[in-house]
Chain A
Amino acid sequence: MRVANIVNLGFKELRGLGRDPMLLLLIVYAFTAAIYTAARAMPETLNNAPIAIIDEDRSPLSSRITGAFLPPYFSRPEIITAAEMDRRMDAGLDTFSLDIPPNFQRDLLAGKAPTIQLNIDATRMTQAFSGSGYIQSIVTAEVAEFSQRYRGTSTPPVDLVLRARFNPELNKTWFGAVMNVINNITMLSIVLTGAALIREREHGTIEHLLVMPITPFEIMISKVWSMGLVVLVASALSLSLVVQGLLSVPIEGSVPLFLAGAALHLFATTSLGIFLATITGSMPQFGLLLMMVLLPLQVLSGGMTPRESMPEAVQLIMLGAPNTHFVMLAQAILYRGAGLGVVWPQFLTLAAIGSALFIFALGRFRKSLK
């Protein structure tokens, strides 16, 4: 192994990248505008959830309940009739329909424990879950306050004080911004190394390298460092200019520590890119395989939905994916301000996964050249 070869080949990769202005433009777009838009698009908690109310009671209590649904969490409730409900839900106009039955107030005060019906469009799962919780507590609070005024009964004064740590307002922009950076890191690093290798094969340049005094190891590591560096720089800039700057997301922990973790992650994903390139014969095949790999990596790594809720088998398999650990360490460092003392297991695992992928890809790379 000669360091000079690795350096020279790496510079060759960087120069090649510089010759593709459209690709550079796309990289810039991916790490700036795309992240900004995606983060900003994320609804703040429950945002404008469409709700309709069928008020069959028309009592002070029912109008009190109706008045309690306020933007930004909910859209101003549409007052509809029972007949309209089905059609509106079918058309997807409302996620929630609250049906307050006739004589609700009277029955409540009479202690008959009347029932309010809440219809939820359960195909909209995110809103369905958090929304039903909100609605329940809003209605309960209104009813409690109302009945307290009327009867003076009270429940034991045990209060529950809820505090969200690290993101007190549960601002989704914070979360979305960083998760999109992570997704882009993975996507770009796989594409840059993998597609570049296929391009070299399609243009015959890889053959040229192999008659020179260079080893496959040197070729591979040069691709890893150069493309890894590009992605690392892009993500560092994105993090400081877009995430911290434009989106003003507060970052708790140490950015250098995060970037160190990102470098380890890139080691793994660039190796993965090379590996994918060695098992595909052409660019279209690579493009498809990329989608096959990228989607599960993004969706199942815990960056989109919590890992705890996934089936155990999926959780277990995804422990083998670098993204899972990267998402863990990113969340720990960036949101919770964790230090190396906390995230060292993820660092170790990433290094191990990266080395395994690299060695595996190197073996395949040697074979695929034959």
Chain B
Amino acid sequence: MNRDAASAPAVRLHDVGLSYGPTRALDGITLDLPSGCMVALIGPDGVGKSSLLSLISGARTIQGGRVEALGGDMANAAHRRRVCPRIAYMPQGLGKNLYPTLSVFENVDFFGRLFGHAKAERERRIAELLQSTGLAPFAGRPAGKLSGGMKQKLGLCCALIHDPDLLILDEPTTGVDPLSRRQFWDLIDTIRAERTGMSVLVATAYMEEAARFDWLMAMDAGRVLATGTPDELLMQTGAPTLDDAFIALLPEEQSSHHHAVVIPPRDTSHDDVLAIEAEGLTMRFGDFVAVDTVNLSIPRGEIFGFLGSNGCGKTTTMKMLTGLLEASEGRARLFGREVDPRDIETRRRVGYMSQAFSLYSELTVRQNLDLHARLFQMPAQAIPVRIAEMAQRFDLAEVMDALPDALPLGVRQRLSLAVAMVHSPEMLILDEPTSGVDPIARDALWQILVDLSRQDGVTIFISTHFMNEAERCDRISLMHAGKVLVSDTPAGIVARRGSANLEEAFVAYLQDAIDEAALPASDPPTAPAMLPIHATHAAPPPATSRSFDLRRMLSYSQREALELSRDPIRATLALIGSVILMFVIGYGINMDVENLSFAVLDQDQTTVSQNYTLNLSGSRYFTEKPPVRDYADLDRRMRAGEISLAIEIPPGFGRDAARGRPVAIAAWIDGAMPQRAETIQGYVQGMHAHWLTEKAQLLLGKKAALSSFALETRFRYNPDVASLVAMVPAVIPLLLLLIPAMLATLSVVREKELGSIVNLYVTPVTRTEFLLGKQLPYIGLAMINFLLLTLAAVTVFGVPFTGSFGTFALAAVIFVTASTGIGLLISSFISSQIAAIFGTAILTLLPATQYSGMIDPVSSLQGAGAFIGQIYPATHFMTISRATFSKALGFGDLTGSFLPLLLSVPVLLGASVLLLKKQAN
């Protein structure tokens, strides 16, 4: 749509720099990237490719220099808002910006809504995109259940839904099998053929892919090494391949590290010693057969390659071998011993590296290595030496004290591999260890593997998507849809198939298998007939630069609601759980202190003293315990909490009382619980007075009554002084605060922790739309909760509702908006889910139970607590709740509580919006 600007550079960089702490990621990059063509950033891991892309896409705050994209300064928020509908950014990592519980269709649909397409338009585009990417048959499958290749295609669909003028892809094919990779690039070509003005900016570590790009930019150590077309680079360096050209471009000291991998022949004389055996290994997930009767027999010291499309069962097979998954059928043996999850001894001999990065992101590289060395029970004195050795071998020395999250994918992979090997295992099970690792590092890794196999006899079971790596294996197995298609030496497979090379043979085998199967079980590796994408621009581009767009907000609401509906346990817990809690608290909190245990130290033992005791024990408030023997007994029993009241009647009490001599009864009260002690005081005084009156009447006859009066106590609003009537209306605000706040906090912090927050950074959605959009479904859920609680209060608990329900409901809407707002506010400054849970609990539970008038009225509180109580929304809703439940009041009587409640909503939301960041730092 920006065809006129086709000649101008798509991206202009001037002296761009970026630092992460002391690390300089980008250093003085000045460059123009041409528009309307495919530009690739190539270079090893950690040279700043991803950082640069995130700056160009606007996902990251610019630290230094000037970044212009599509003709404007990306440091300028107004420009970012204007152009972000024209930029699509797909971050690194398989499906990082997707929503795993949403289906394929729903994911694309969400992005479509975000960019403001109408329903018909959206459906048309989604149908086209899914058709052309071959995802159409899987439209209903949750994104989290897709294989890596399919996730990347889905990510592409989401990026393409709004016809971007600049498409930014960060390592889109890392971890994707060769067939899917081919399809992916074909797809991009088709799209570009349709949309000639579109610029595509790709970061990749695959040099063989780089050859198909129009313009390359080779990077190293945060700087640009060279730019030009692939041919120009080849000419410039005089190298035969881009791989070699890149190595030639590197500074002397780095390129000198590189050596071609040398594989000495294997000594096969001990091949009767089997390291891995599998017979009929089968894994079923429900109806789905993930792994179907796989047989393996791998001798000690062999490098065994495992190939296959994404999602064909390689990972599952590996997990069964390590004992992480229990096979549905069949048997597996490692070193001749049956795989048993409890077999600690075998585990020590195996190193495993899983596909997804699974080391501790909170530990540094060194701490991770150290921890694993210790856990594998290496001798303590050997550990530092071994760590130094691994650091040197895997080129990690410079990042030893960095946290894994700050490292590029390739370096993290090297770390994972180092961790898997730190304890010198006899067997390595490696699940795509080289995905995302640059060619030089990959060759270095392979040299290590080869040395381990040939010199130390380590058995290596490795899965990979790289054909040149497969060729280095002693034997390979080709897997598809859970079945092993063929197992042989790489040369044997090529010969058997009569293909030109291994990749051809691989594709040919897969095609056969697919043609045989009526229904493809996982990825359809056949490229479906590439439907052209009709980039008809009949529909005018929607106005997306508006500062508040209802549709964008609702697209977040809809997505959040969908996620909520995919997790019915969450909603059920919130609804059912709150009713249970109301029950527990309603019955549990009882201010009417009863059954207090007391004992008497009666040193008089007359009828009068016994009469006094009877006066107490006859009451429902007190329960008499065995008499106290002496002071020591009294002390012990009070300390143990056995009795909360002790009455001491002095010797000669009866006689003295009768003679009118002053005499005192002592009452010892356990003051450990002041509330209870006060109540006891009140009761004892009352009983004492009652006893005195009775005595006086006995002694003095009618005359005594003359001085008396009656104090008639009327408990209003709650005549039975039932705890339920008092507590239930207070519990509703409590629950409507705790649960919605917790859900709202986690909904935002979760996106931060799992990575999909990037969609806030690079799409036109504003912070207000994002927050309000996410809040809405939780307000809805909370209102259902409100109705349920009120219903339960009236029916199950029998608490009469006397006031105006309309008023109560209106207050509830405002209140749950405030309580979810509290959650959003908490989420804006917290980035880990653990801290979010604890923070929400501490910041809601305490004020709600202690400062909001649930037990002690706010007017009686003191200090900061009183202040919090006065401004806390729960206080005001609690007043309204009690007033409408028990005091038969309506809106007119409660304006004083409505005002502060109403005021809290914009304050909370405003603060959340201000604190939330629209870009990563």
Contact = CB atoms under 8 A, between A and B. Distances in A.
A15 B370 CA distance: 13
Contact of A296 (B585, B712, B886): B585
A299 B685 contact: no
Nearest to B403: A19
A84 to B, nearest CB: 14
A162 interface: yes
B712 A117 contact: yes
A208 B359 contact: yes
Q: Which of B371, B711, B723, B893 has the most CB of A within 10 A?
A: B711
A295 B584 contact: yes
Contacts of A195: 833-834, 837-838
Contacts of A116: 709-712
Interface stretch (B528-536, B700-708, B809-817): B700-708
B721 A125 contact: yes
A188 B707 contact: no
Interface string B664-683: 11111111111111110111
Interface residues of B, number: 164
Contacts of A89: 716, 887
A122 B716 contact: yes
B855 A126 contact: yes
B324 A46 contact: no
Given A126-B855, A162-B684, A287 B742 contact: yes
Contact of B713 (A132, A162, A289, A300): A132
B518 interface: no
B711 A37 contact: no
A281 B887 CA distance: 43
Interface string B858-893: 011111111011000000000100110011010001
Contact of B859 (A18, A50, A172): A50
B663 interface: yes
B834 A118 contact: no
A72 to B, nearest CB: 10
Contact of B841 (A153, A174, A291): A291
Contacts of A298: 845, 849
B742 A43 contact: no
A46 B717 contact: no
Interface string A301-331: 0001110111100100000000000001001
B577 A305 contact: no
A113 interface: yes
B865 A41 contact: yes
A22 interface: yes
A130 B855 CA distance: 13
B454 interface: no
A157 B662 contact: yes
A158 B666 CA distance: 11
Contacts, number: 496
A227 to B, nearest CB: 11
Contact of A115 (B710, B738, B833, B889): B710
A130 B721 contact: no
Contact of A34 (B371, B678, B842, B853): B842
Contact of B715 (A128, A172, A180, A203): A128
Contact of A15 (B367, B739, B746, B840): B367
Interface stretch (B70-78, B129-137, B273-281, B594-602): B594-602
Given A22-B829, A120-B714, A129 B657 contact: no
A153 B862 contact: no
B835 interface: yes
A40 B862 contact: yes
A83 interface: no
Interface residues of A, number: 154
A137 B860 CA distance: 21
B746 A91 contact: no
A171 interface: yes
Contacts of A171: 674
Interface stretch (B160-168, B340-348, B479-487): B340-348
Contact of B664 (A8, A42, A160, A165): A160
Contact of B833 (A26, A283, A308): A283
Contacts of B850: 38, 41-42, 176
Contact of A174 (B641, B661, B674): B674
A204 interface: yes
Contacts of A360: none
Contacts of B832: 20, 22-23, 199
A332 B639 contact: yes
A16 to B, nearest CB: 4
Contact of A331 (B350, B361, B641): B641
Given A161-B665, A170-B677, A282-B567, A309 B682 contact: no
Given A29-B842, A155-B696, A172-B674, A314 B747 contact: no
Interface stretch (B21-29, B372-380, B494-502): B372-380
B719 interface: yes
Given A195-B834, A195-B837, A284-B746, A26 B589 contact: no
Interface in A227-255: none
B368 to A, nearest CB: 9
B750 interface: yes
A102 interface: no
A307 to B, nearest CB: 10
B190 interface: no
A34 B703 CA distance: 57
B914 interface: no
A92 B588 contact: no
A170 B376 contact: no
**6 closest residue pairs by CB, A with B:** A41-B865, A133-B682, A167-B671, A164-B671, A125-B591, A122-B718
17 contacts: A4-B377, A15-B367, A16-B363, A22-B839, A44-B862, A90-B883, A127-B860, A128-B715, A148-B707, A153-B700, A156-B657, A162-B684, A164-B677, A205-B360, A209-B375, A212-B372, A284-B750
Given A15-B362, A23-B832, A196-B834, 19 more contacts: A30-B838, A38-B846, A41-B869, A115-B709, A120-B716, A125-B592, A126-B857, A161-B665, A195-B838, A198-B833, A284-B742, A287-B742, A287-B840, A306-B673, A308-B596, A309-B595, A310-B587, A311-B587, A370-B326
